[in-house]
Structure 1
């Protein structure tokens, strides 16, 4: 099994718990795991005894470190140029359907976002009604390193971040701590990781007359305290806004080229954007602009189109190869600079690759 389920019974109802259970792979999402979580949530929706859902990752290192990109690579490798890699397209379709289910679920979903929360893991975490980060949380959308772009609903949640932090995070894959997650509205609460068992126990004692409010008050009552780490995004907020202010994408890249800093965190961000995939930088800018007035459903429909196109494009296979297959760290991107990318090339990513309706039309 790729997931475990547990039932925490109380006098007034049950808290049902999902554990993403591939700790050796940092609980990375496989198609099988996505299908399993979807099936459980669909079943629990109609179980009146279950009052709330809890999702966590197995082990002490990660909630979920992302999707199974090695599978995506093999799907692309076994597909002829110009054709849709079927396994990759199926993965994205099922993943976004699950993410949408979590966002719109009519029972509270408590996310215990302890440890690494990256990419597809953030897609699951961010849709919860009560998203808890800990002192061990490390959150990122590092798709720029593999030639993808921040998907799993990022086009929607990027709209809700302060200043220019969304573009910065999307283009640099910068790592966020618990304070950053709260600052960017990717999380709601902070608790020490040692409080997990106490919280679960306290939740089962609730009357569940007003579940959302009662759960929030229970989390807060467990000593929700000052986050012990400083938000790097808040600390460097003015610098980030200044770096991202360019009218043209090339201006933003130039501002990173000329950045002189002794700050390690900013230095990593600088290195990532300058060595990352130029097409990703373009897609980040485009997804934010195009999704500005989209509903959540429309965002996932757009992202399925873009992600499927990415799976048909050389950059994603090359990025995964360089990072995870050959591990040479020398990706040969299709474009050397953002200025080499034409408007027609960009528009292709936002053009349906399939005949007929979007596979997520019936979300």
Structure 2
């Protein structure tokens, strides 16, 4: 009841700046039948928009909406879609009438299942010269430009990650200030499975995830589902799929492009975590991930996995790694270690350089052909980790000069996402409070409840904060001898 009362008050205050309307209180008694105060205005098509375009453009009051429209291929991203979106996104970003930009998808299965790599490889197999007006490299160039544009927009951008969200679909969503996961969300960066590497800014966002979670996801291609996409920090909010139309209506009726207003509106639709839900990358599994994937060599990571007590998990993880291209594994690990210390623009430029190397000499073409075309096991070259050295990887993929340089559409950059406050607190933020490095948090020896209360206040009562902070504190802290306060455990064995 306290939570509902808080929400009601907050909604009223926000509405007084935008629209005077009834507050929305989501609870077990709410249903579509008693939600008459929510507008259900039909989308208005922008003049000239082809009815069967691969990306539809819609406008509804103050919102501008992209709808990915290739459901038969799980909305796989191709160059036509990128070129459809980029100029319109630039125009909406400059429009005073546009208050919020929403990205969603048609179809019941996928938001966007990845990039159309089959088409890229088809072109790459032909001459390196222009084929039909499209070079294989051109797709990646314009895709990265769009990804970076989303990351640096002035306007609030909300991505509805409702369904399969992988590869290229991650690039369209993960850099946005607002990323909404649902119970249908299936997240992965599976590029390594096809002899490639995590691109679309993966070197930036994966390297900034808690501990070594990003390294684990990148090197194994592991999937996260539903609320775990939110708990991991990939999504900023978790909203049941059936509420998305009402959320879209609410966002469309706002008369402000203030990110705080947009965030508060989304928060009114989020769902409480299930009390019995266990985060798939938490607890002892998370401790094992941090222990094993902190190494700077693939061989070192496998050695650490062999020493793990949880033999079932470690053996499964080792088997997964050994199925991957040795070249892709080593490039991916090196990419993440470098990306952690780069600004976002430099990450995209590094990835663009890697793309050129992978189109020239790698297992990428073999991986796509084998797995997606011929439906067979790929034959990696080299086939063993020991057959290619880290020094060879460094020199060919990272140190050698590239023929083409990535020209982004603006010069904006940053070391960390500017709107991270709308997501759950990171493990690093929690550590800084425990150790007293956050000036306004209070004393060094804060109790567990004091730390939870601090973050609830800091995140304005955000749902999921309590669960995230407690999971981290239970795993990474211990009580100070003779005191109620907590201390941070630097090394967990």
TM-score by length of 2: 0.67
Which has the higher Rg, Structure 1 or Structure 2? 2
**Equivalence for 1:155:** 203
**Long gaps (5+) in structure 1:** none
Q: Distance in 2 between matches of 1:130 and 1:116?
A: 17
| Per-residue CA distance 1:195-231 (angstroms, 9 max, x = gap) | 01110111123231x6211111111112432158532
User: In the alignment, does 2:327 pair up with 1:275?
Assistant: no
Distance 1:269 1:249, change over 3 A: closer
Distance 1:75 1:256, change over 3 A: farther
**Equivalence for 2:248:** 200
User: In the alignment, does 2:265 pair up with 1:218?
Assistant: yes
1:65-80 matches, within 5 Å, as: 65-79=113-127
Distance 1:227 1:89, change over 3 A: farther
| Per-residue CA distance 1:138-180 (angstroms, 9 max, x = gap) | 1000111101111110111123211111111111000012333
Q: CA deviation at 1:55?
A: 0.1
**Equivalence for 2:387:** 340
User: In the alignment, does 2:345 pair up with 1:327?
Assistant: no
Contact kept, 8 Å, 2:112 with 2:169, in 1: the verdict is: yes
- Alignment root-mean-square deviation, CA: 2.3
Contact kept, 8 Å, 2:331 with 2:393, in 1: the verdict is: no
Q: CA deviation at 1:48?
A: 1.0
Q: Distance in 2 between matches of 1:129 and 1:219?
A: 12
Q: CA deviation at 1:317?
A: 0.4
**Equivalence for 1:59:** 107
1:171-182 matches, within 5 Å, as: 171-182=219-230
Q: Distance in 1 between matches of 2:218 and 2:144?
A: 18
Distance 1:135 1:362, change over 3 A: closer
Q: CA deviation at 1:53?
A: 0.3
Contact kept, 8 Å, 1:134 with 1:192, in 2: the verdict is: yes
Contact kept, 8 Å, 2:100 with 2:252, in 1: the verdict is: no
Q: CA deviation at 1:84?
A: 9.9
Q: Distance in 2 between matches of 1:84 and 1:359?
A: 19
Q: Please point out which of 288, 295, 318 is paired with 2:336.
A: 288
Distance 1:21 1:247, change over 3 A: closer
Contact kept, 8 Å, 2:114 with 2:169, in 1: the verdict is: yes
Q: CA deviation at 1:18?
A: 0.3
TM-score by length of 1: 0.90
Q: Please point out which of 60, 83, 92 is paired with 1:8.
A: 60
Contact kept, 8 Å, 2:330 with 2:393, in 1: the verdict is: no
Contact kept, 8 Å, 2:69 with 2:106, in 1: the verdict is: yes
**Equivalence for 2:364:** 316
Q: CA deviation at 1:277?
A: 1.0
Q: Please point out which of 49, 66, 70 is paired with 1:18.
A: 66
**Equivalence for 1:239:** 288
Corresponding residue SS for 2:135? helix
Q: Please point out which of 137, 142, 147 is paired with 1:94.
A: 142
Contact kept, 8 Å, 1:63 with 1:115, in 2: the verdict is: yes
| Per-residue CA distance 1:68-119 (angstroms, 9 max, x = gap) | 0101211221036xx8996221011000000000000100000100110001
Distance 1:157 1:223, change over 3 A: closer
Q: CA deviation at 1:247?
A: 5.1
Structure with the larger RCO, 1 or 2 (CA within 8 Å, 6+ apart): 1
Contact kept, 8 Å, 1:146 with 1:319, in 2: the verdict is: yes
Aligned length: 352
User: In the alignment, does 2:308 pair up with 1:251?
Assistant: no
Q: Distance in 1 between matches of 2:103 and 2:247?
A: 13
Corresponding residue SS for 1:226? coil
Q: CA deviation at 1:344?
A: 2.7
Contact kept, 8 Å, 2:227 with 2:273, in 1: the verdict is: no
